[in-house]
Amino acid sequence: MDGQSIGALWDRVTGAQPAPHGWLVLATGAAALLAVVARPLWRVTRNAVTIAHEGGHGLAALLTGRTLTGIRLHSDTSGLTLSYGQPTGPGMVLTAAAGYIAPPLLGLGCAALLAADRITLLLWLTIALLLALLVRIRNAFGFLSVILAGAAFFLVSWYGTAEVQAGFAYLGSWFLLFGSVRPVLELQYQRRRGEGGDSDADQLARLTGVPGLAWVTLFLVTALVCLAVGAHWLLPEDPASF
């Protein structure tokens, strides 16, 4: 690939694309909400939230100087991130807290890129993040899940029309924003039933002395704030776009 081709590719990735029609933004939002609230769909789509959740744990572990040994994604939509370092202290707290905070923040970041009409850049950044995660995956199901997700983003970004790319990007952003709320509610439901003893919130309670319910509240407030701000950025301001 010569310099001119590289420059053209760079311009394609970093340049702005036309904003999609308002009906497409609403349609993808409705589809994402359905994928979260419909139990049969959620059993499958929740894997995407798990990828972001475990990726958040992994990134926080690396940023705080812990040794990240691997990430596992399971077919029941659960996951496990293993890291070594000080068993207590700020690094361990940030690593434990990052799981439920990562998906809504990632969704908010996606919404910010889409508000700036950087659709292609969003798709390629997602591919880069999935590749970075892939090298840390330590089980077959997790490897397959990340490969399939990355392949979907690549195919859409390389072969999809502008409208297909926009629809895919908006659908993913809406899904992260909506999909970040339900796992927190499920977490508290499990805790009320006495099944969440090893959850992130309860680990944080043991590490900090702050009650687990306070951590669940933090996770939920983060998800709801990101949803509200992200929706404001995603929804078109001009009624004529509908």
Distance CA 182, CA 48 (A): 13
Q: Is 8 strand, coil or helix?
A: helix
| Residue 29 belongs to some domain of the structure | no
Distance CA 138, CA 60 (A): 18
| Residue 118 belongs to some domain of the structure | yes
Q: How far is CA 145 from the centre of its chain?
A: 14
Q: What is the span of the domain harbouring residue 148? A: 38-237
Q: What is the pLDDT of residue 194?
A: 86
Distance CA 235, CA 11 (A): 26
Average pLDDT over residues 224-236: 97
229 pLDDT more than 70: yes
Q: What is the pLDDT of residue 205?
A: 96
Number of domains in the chain: 1
Q: What is the pLDDT of residue 13?
A: 79
| Residue 51 belongs to some domain of the structure | yes
Per-residue pLDDT tens for 110-129? 999 999 999 999 999 999 99
44 pLDDT band (50/70/90 cuts)?
very high
Query: In which region does residue 178 sit, left (phi positive, over 0), alpha (psi from -120 to 50) or beta (all else)?
Result: alpha
What are the φ/ψ torsions at residue 184 (nearest 5 degrees)?
-70, -40
Q: How far is CA 104 from CA 39, 49, 59, 181, in A?
A: 20, 9, 15, 8
Distance CA 119, CA 111 (A): 10
| Residue 31 belongs to some domain of the structure | no
| DSSP codes joined into one string, 151-217 | HHHHHHHHHS-HHHHHHHHHHHHHHHHHHTHHHHHHHHHHHHTT--TTSHHHHHHHHHSS-HHHHHH
| Residue 77 belongs to some domain of the structure | yes
| Residue 21 belongs to some domain of the structure | no
| Residue 98 belongs to some domain of the structure | yes
Average pLDDT over residues 155-166: 95
| Residue 7 belongs to some domain of the structure | no
Per-residue pLDDT tens for 188-222? 999 999 876 789 999 999 999 999 999 999 999 99
| pTM for the structure as a whole | 0.93
Distance CA 233, CA 195 (A): 37
